Structure 1
């Protein structure tokens, strides 16, 4: 009997250690391994160099549209924690001067009440540690924040609700870089009142939009090029990593560069003869893709360096947890109960 009891204890210790190792790998070590795959961008002169972190489509989960309501609190907790962990790793790696959130901050921002929206904003600021990590922050609305897709129309009330939570000018300047907050959903382009923005060759003009600008040739891209003459565009929405290049003189001829989940550095010289649009992938594993990450750009003098800092996929880890909870643990419990039955049943018979 003591021999059986000893074997049970040893097996329990081994299983416990195995589960601890699995948790350590999936919740901590996997993120450390992942950072070793990232490409480092280097500044020639730290004084004239601007480091930019780009986060797209976090779409933090709301409480209305979640399909499996019984585990909604658990899914919200896991998604929020994943965003927090991956973002913290990226922020520490880049040490950015500017952080740009390219819209679709919330999954249900457009359909939320004011109180719900305020709660989502509080969660977002906590997830991305905005009050703890110093940087210049720029916020853009997406279609899930203010409408603009399908029958969910953009309204003045939705825009006002977003702007109240994230009050900011549509023209943000840092050093020699001017960022313009575009809104393709509302066909809005900031008015350039200072002609020095366009005429000064020392300025780098960067357009920011949730919806891609150059992927489709239409009137709005022409207006953007005419009114702010951007050297660069940072956009999101498609949940994919992509680079689009064209000339302002011939915007219908576009070059598409797509390298899904490839750790690679891109470097371009900025001039009035070229426009580069960088589509940033989603940073949330809830968007149905394994290609998850953050954009990282360095602008220095007339050069831009760019790469994607890819995050580890989450679904394989969740499948492992599901396998453990659904199959392994019940089998362990059944085996343990059988052992107890074999040990104590003879004693019960003896006592009776």
Structure 2
């Protein structure tokens, strides 16, 4: 009993407000910057560690990272801090997604850069360096990259130009082509609104390169959700087994029962949408269908896009035509930033009170003389 009293007194003497504040700050940083990512990864769906890579491939889908630029951000010090924090979030989450899935192929679905379409030469080079540092593991896996409107223009008043396309292709990949990996052909047809005949011609140029039994169209913008007259001729010609898209920043799966049929009725284009934001398990996708077609929309992996649910898509694709798809959901960032603000306010108030009380308590008392 005596030893406990002595220990309590010693702790009270040593445990000052400033030490508590320092411990709280360090604990907050450790949780927000390290532990929260590991806890979230612990909740991800299990990926089989043992498999026949000749029969089953793992594909990791990355959508809309949109690395923050310089022109549209605030100046010093807010802009640099915002870019640093967003880059760190992408780096922490992608590295864990890569380690968790050990993918055979990594597919980037466009909008790699937020200001790629309007960046100056030096700005663009700095963005490319940041991209390579954030997604460092792409050096160790087969990587397929397509552009989005933020990379080369094409949305609204931001026009696509040959210069923007050439710059993207110089630092990343051709925007069109067929990328083969074992039994899968990834078709990059650059399908966009109002260019049906151009995309049909593009497919005919690329058709001789199609050699795999499974065809996957990867496109930045959604296809099935468009008007039939703008997409049916391309799908009918390309005959994909599944479409994977991005752009809208949320996670859905669309099924069109007649997308590959001979029905040329332009008013007959029914599709069903399945919201994936509450789905934590694998969803089965049948790649052996000859008339029906599924489109998977992958959510953004950046918390700066203003949506509450971010993640990476992962697909297990079997050579037989069976596919399982899931989303590796990411932790919300804004609540953690709000925690920083609350903790900092608490720390400042606590330290100020400690300083005031210590100053009052430390004033020498006047002694009276007789």
Decide which of 99, 117, 122 is 2:124's aligned counterpart: 117
The Cα of 1:194 is off from its aligned counterpart by 7.0
The Cα of 1:24 is off from its aligned counterpart by 1.9
Decide which of 91, 100, 120 is 1:93's aligned counterpart: 100
Question: What's the counterpart of residue 320 of structure 1?
Answer: 339
The equivalences for 1:72-151 within 5 A come to 72-130=79-137, 133-151=139-157
The equivalences for 1:1-352 within 5 A come to 7=13, 9-42=15-48, 45-67=52-74, 70-130=77-137, 133-168=139-174, 170-185=177-192, 187=195, 189=199, 190-193=202-205, 203-246=213-256, 247=258, 248-249=260-261, 252-271=269-288, 272-301=290-319, 302-325=321-344, 327-346=345-364
Q: Deviations over 1:240-266 (max 9, x none)?
A: 100011131257011111121421211
Q: Give the superposed CA RMSD.
A: 2.4
TM, length-normalised to structure 2? 0.86
> Relative to structure 1, is the Cα distance of residues 288 and 90 closer, same or farther in structure 2, using a 3 angstrom cutoff?
same
Partner of 1:46, secondary structure, is: coil
Equivalenced residue count is 343
CA contact (8 A) 2:47 2:100 kept: no
Partner of 1:50, secondary structure, is: strand
> Relative to structure 1, is the Cα distance of residues 342 and 229 closer, same or farther in structure 2, using a 3 angstrom cutoff?
same
The Cα of 1:221 is off from its aligned counterpart by 1.6
The Cα of 1:267 is off from its aligned counterpart by 0.9
- Unpaired runs of 5+ in structure 2? 1-8
Between 146-155 and 162-171, the greater mean CA deviation after superposition: 162-171
CA contact (8 A) 1:235 1:278 kept: yes
CA contact (8 A) 1:179 1:208 kept: yes
> Relative to structure 1, is the Cα distance of residues 10 and 69 closer, same or farther in structure 2, using a 3 angstrom cutoff?
closer
CA contact (8 A) 1:57 1:282 kept: yes
The Cα of 1:45 is off from its aligned counterpart by 3.4
Q: Distance in 2 between matches of 1:182 and 1:28?
A: 39
The Cα of 1:226 is off from its aligned counterpart by 2.4
CA contact (8 A) 2:251 2:297 kept: yes
The Cα of 1:333 is off from its aligned counterpart by 2.5
Q: Distance in 1 between matches of 2:347 and 2:97?
A: 35
Between 258-267 and 285-294, the greater mean CA deviation after superposition: 258-267
Between 276-285 and 261-270, the greater mean CA deviation after superposition: 261-270
Q: Distance in 1 between matches of 2:82 and 2:69?
A: 10
Q: Distance in 2 between matches of 1:256 and 1:44?
A: 31
Partner of 1:333, secondary structure, is: helix
Partner of 2:61, secondary structure, is: strand
The Cα of 1:195 is off from its aligned counterpart by 5.7
Partner of 1:54, secondary structure, is: strand
Larger radius of gyration: 2
